Amino acid sequence: SKVTTSKPYFVGDPNAPIKVAVLDLGIKKSIVENLATRGCYCKVFPAKTTFDEMTSWDPDGYFISNGPGDPATMDYAINTVKKAVGSTKPLFGICLGHQLLALSNDVSTYKMHHGHRGLNHPVKNILTGKGEMTSQNHGFAVSEKDIEKNPNVEVTHVHLNDNTIMGIRVKGKKAFSVQYHPEASPGPHDSRYLFDQFLDMIREEIRERENVAN
């Protein structure tokens, strides 16, 4: 809440076909730029914005940003993420946003003995079997034990050095997250496909809504 924007602001073309509500918990400029260059009009909201305030803008999807601090103390953000996941619209979280997605689904986080810092961390995408070189900067991680017991959350990415959880998705929802930074600049760009994956989910959800309306 101390590093967030003091008031909402916009990034991108107001005439863009997709609107994304961004919860700023310490967001990096390159993240919003990655969304804007892919045809998104973004409204960036302060950290303590309620879900009702975000949804009143009628966005097509929700983005939960990176940021500092212990995610387990951020009740306000956990509650917002929980409500966003409960909607039909896609949600994508990065780093702190990844941890908050886990916490909103009753998966705990813990402080690591040694955090992950810097470039070239090897990550495996379990869904595709492919490896990614990633940029990371975090001192907390998602509980492996809680994931194993949770029927609603699935691991999608793991760190190849220590097997910590690097990505999750919520079963039956268009909600997913990664612990690392696909927008890294400078840094490896192996993971920028995740922004495209998010937008594909949004386009699919828009088509579903239009089909129901017709």
Q: Which residues are catalytic?
A: 95, 181, 183
Alpha helices (H) along the chain: 29-36, 51-55, 75-86, 96-103, 144-149, 193-213
What is the C-alpha separation between 178 and 125, in angstroms, rounded?
A: 10
Check residue 169 and give left, alpha or beta (phi > 0: left; psi -120 to 50: alpha): beta
Strand bridging mode 61-64 / 91-94: parallel
Angle in degrees, CA 6, 85, 55, rounded to 5:
45
Neighbours of 207 (CB within 10 A): 10
3-class secondary structure, 193: helix
Distance (Å, whole) CA 175 – CA 120 = 26
